[in-house]
C-alpha cells in the first residue's frame, strides 16, 4: 500500500492526513474550520453539512495525483455527538455535540428509569452522563416528536462520515461505548438501556450493526469519489472516536502507557486488555478501537481557563505562559476550578468557573495565570488516580493537543502527575491513528488477523525528543495543592447540583 488517508472530524475543524506507508511519514495534511451554535441553556450544535463542506475543502487542497493513489481510508470523529438520519440520508436536526449540556434533565430521567447509577455501572459499565449520546436521543424525542418518528439511523459523527463515504451504516465498539447504550463488558448493545430510551418504539432497529475494530466497514461509493476526488471502491475501516484513534496515533495500544490530550477538553486514557469499571465514577469504561478497552477520563474544560484568562489579561500565548512560569509552583495557594462549560468529571453539568484560595498577599497576574495551567492538570490527575486505584499502572505519557505546545504546561503536567511526559511528534494523532487503523484493516483482510501493536511498531509513529521528567522537589507541594483542589470541589458541589 502506498497511501492511506486519515480523517478527523473534531469540534473546531475537520482534518485530513495522507500517510505514506512506504516512507512511513505524513505526506500531506489539510484542515478546515467549523462554526458552532451556542446558547445559554448549554446548547452546543453543528450542522452536519458543515462537516461535508470542510471535508471537501480538505481533500480539495491536497494534490489530486496523491489522492488518486490513496488505497484506504479511516475516520476519526468527536465522540458522543448525535446524528439522526432518515431513510433518504437526511440529517434531521443540527448535531448535538459532546459538550452540549442542555440534555441534563434527560440524563437524570434515563438514569432514574434504569434504576440509578449503581445499577448502570453494574449492568452496562457506564453511566448515562449528560454529554453522552443517549440523553440526546431522548431530548430529540421530547422536543421534535414528528422528526423523531422519521429517524432511521442513530449515528455518531464518525459513523455519519463513514456513511457519506460509503452509503453504508455501521458502528464499532470504541465510539459506541460512549453512547451510554453499550454493554462494555460484552461489547454488544444493552437491550434494557435501549428500551429505557423509548418503551413504545424499537430503537434497536435504529442502531447500526456493530463490527470488529480490525474489519473493513465498506467501500467508497461513486458519489463520494466524485465529491471528494478520491478513488471509488477503496476500503473504509471501522473508524472510531477521536480518543480511540488518537490512542493508535500515539502508540497507546499496549498496557503501561498513557495518552493525554490537552485541547478544549482534556483527556487521559490508556490501553487495557480487560474492562476497567471505576466505581468512583471518574473513568469512562470505554472500549478501544483496537479490540480491547480504553479507560478514559474526560474533562470538558482544559484550555478553556487559560484562553479566558489570557483574553482578560490581553496577552498572547507566549506572554501568558511566561507569566505563569514566573509564579511559584502551587501559585501561592490560588486555584482555578475551570468548570466554565459545566463539567463531566466531576459530573457537574451545571458547574461554574471559580477562582479560589485568594488572600490579600497572593492575588497577582502571575499566580492567577499559573493557577489556570495547574488546575487543568489537577483535573487530569483525577483520572490517573482512578487508574491506579483500579489496578492500571502507568509508567509514562504521550501528550498531544494545543496545550501540549506549551513547554511550561508540559513540565507542570509531569510534575503534578509524577510520570515522564513526552511530546508527540505528530500534532494530529487522531487523524494519524485513523490512517493507521485503515492500514491495519487492509493488512487483516489480506493476511488474516494481525495485532494492532505490530502495525504501530512497523510504522513506528515517531516521538519528539522533548521529554519532561517530574521535579521531585515540588511533588509534596503539588500533592497538598491537589488535596485542596478536591476539597474545594467537594465543598462547592452542592451549589452546582
Backbone φ, ψ for residue 387 (5° rounding): -60, -45
Distance, C-alpha 466 to centroid of its chain: 24
The count of other CB atoms within 10 Å of the CB of residue 204 is 13
Find out whether the peptide bond into 346 is cis, omega within 30 degrees of 0: yes
- The C-alpha torsion from 71 through 440 and 260 to 473, rounded to 10°, is -120
* Residue 70 neighbours by CB distance under 10 Å: 23
Question: Is the Cβ–Cβ distance between 378 and 485 less than 8 Å?
Answer: yes
Task: Answer yes or no: are the C-beta atoms of 15 and 61 closer than 8 Å.
Answer: no
Q: Which residues contact 318 (CB under 8 A, 6 or more apart)?
A: none
Query: What value, to the nearest 5°, has the Cα angle with vertex 196 and ends 194 and 202?
Result: 50
Cα-trace Rg, the chain:
22
Is residue 242 annotated as a catalytic residue, yes or no?
yes
Query: What is the rounded CA–CA span in Å between residue 250 and residue 431?
Result: 11
Following DSSP, what letter does each residue of 9-21 receive, concatenated? E-SSEEEEEEEET
- Give 3-state DSSP helix, strand, coil % of the chain, rounded to 5: 40, 25, 35
| Residue ranges in 144-221 assigned as alpha helix (H) | 145-150, 157-166, 173-176, 191-197
Query: How big is the chain, counted in residues?
Result: 497
Catalytic residue among 175, 242, 278, 321: 242
Looking up cell 463515504 gives 165
Q: What is the DSSP letter of 427?
A: S
Q: How many helices (H) and strands (E) does the chain have?
A: 18, 25
How far is residue 51's CA from residue 158's CA, in Å, rounded to a whole number?
10
* Residue 284, strand partner residues: 296
Within its chain, how far is the Cα of 397 from the centroid?
Answer: 16
The CA distance from 390 to 114, in Å, is: 25
- Which active-site residues does the annotation give? 242
Amino acid at each position: 500500500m502506498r497511501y492511506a488517508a486519515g480523517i478527523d472530524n473534531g469540534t473546531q475543524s475537520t482534518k485530513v492526513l495522507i500517510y505514506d506507508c512506504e516512507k512511513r511519514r505524513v505526506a500531506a495534511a489539510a484542515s478546515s474550520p467549523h462554526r458552532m451554535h451556542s446558547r445559554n441553556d448549554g446548547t452546543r450544535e453543528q450542522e452536519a453539512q458543515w462537516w461535508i463542506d470542510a471535508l471537501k475543502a480538505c481533500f480539495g487542497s491536497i494534490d489530486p495525483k496523491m489522492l488518486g493513489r490513496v488505497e484506504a481510508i479511516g475516520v476519526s470523529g468527536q465522540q458522543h455527538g448525535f446524528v439522526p438520519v432518515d431513510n433518504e440520508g437526511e440529517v434531521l436536526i443540527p448535531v448535538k455535540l459532546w459538550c452540549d449540556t442542555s440534555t441534563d434533565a434527560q440524563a437524570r430521567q434515563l438514569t432514574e428509569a434504569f434504576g440509578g447509577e449503581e445499577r448502570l455501572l453494574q449492568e452496562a459499565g457506564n453511566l448515562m452522563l449528560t454529554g453522552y449520546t443517549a440523553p440526546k436521543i431522548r431530548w430529540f424525542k421530547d422536543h421534535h416528536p414528528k422528526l423523531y418518528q422519521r429517524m432511521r439511523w442513530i449515528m455518531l459523527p464518525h459513523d455519519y462520515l463513514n456513511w457519506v463515504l460509503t452509503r453504508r451504516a455501521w458502528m464499532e465498539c470504541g465510539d459506541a461505548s460512549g453512547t451510554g447504550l453499550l454493554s462494555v463488558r460484552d461489547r454488544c448493545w444493552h437491550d434494557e438501556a435501549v428500551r429505557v430510551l423509548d418503551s413504545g418504539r424499537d430503537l434497536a432497529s435504529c442502531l447500526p450493526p456493530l463490527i470488529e475494530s480490525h474489519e473493513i466497514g465498506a467501500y467508497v461509493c461513486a458519489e463520494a469519489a466524485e465529491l471528494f476526488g478520491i478513488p471509488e471502491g477503496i476500503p473504509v475501516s471501522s473508524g472510531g472516536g477521536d480518543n480511540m484513534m488518537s490512542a493508535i496515533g500515539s502508540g497507546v495500544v499496549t498496557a503501561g502507557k498513557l495518552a493525554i490530550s490537552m485541547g478544549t477538553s482534556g483527556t487521559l486514557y490508556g490501553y487495557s486488555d480487560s474492562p476497567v469499571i471505576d466505581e468512583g465514577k471518574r473513568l469512562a469504561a470505554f472500549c478501544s478501537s483496537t479490540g480491547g478497552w480504553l479507560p478514559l477520563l474526560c474533562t470538558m474544560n482544559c484550555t478553556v481557563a487559560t484562553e479566558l484568562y489570557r483574553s482578560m489579561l490581553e496577552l498572547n500565548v507566549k506572554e501568558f505562559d511566561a507569566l505563569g512560569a514566573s509564579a511559584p509552583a502551587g501559585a501561592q495557594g490560588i486555584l482555578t476550578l475551570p468548570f466554565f462549560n459545566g463539567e463531566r468529571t466531576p459530573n457537574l453539568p451545571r458547574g461554574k468557573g471559580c477562582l479560589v484560595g485568594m488572600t490579600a498577599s497572593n492575588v497577582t497576574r502571575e499566580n492567577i495565570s499559573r493557577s489556570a495551567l495547574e488546575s487543568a492538570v489537577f483535573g487530569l490527575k483525577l483520572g490517573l488516580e482512578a487508574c491506579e486505584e483500579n489496578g492500571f499502572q502507568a509508567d509514562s505519557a504521550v501528550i498531544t493537543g494545543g496545550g501540549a505546545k506549551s513547554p511550561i504546561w508540559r513540565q507542570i503536567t509531569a510534575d503534578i502527575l509524577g510520570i515522564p511526559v513526552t511530546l508527540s511528534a505528530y500534532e494530529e494523532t487522531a487523524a494519524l491513528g485513523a490512517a493507521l487503523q485503515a492500514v491495519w484493516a487492509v493488512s487483516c483482510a489480506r493476511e488474516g488477523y494481525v495485532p494492532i501493536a505490530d502495525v504501530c511498531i512497523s510504522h513506528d509513529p515517531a516521538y519528539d525528543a522533548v521529554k519532561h521528567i517530574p521535579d521531585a522537589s515540588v511533588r509534596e507541594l503539588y500533592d497538598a495543592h491537589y488535596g485542596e483542589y478536591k476539597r474545594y470541589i467537594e465543598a462547592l458541589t452542592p451549589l452546582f447540583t
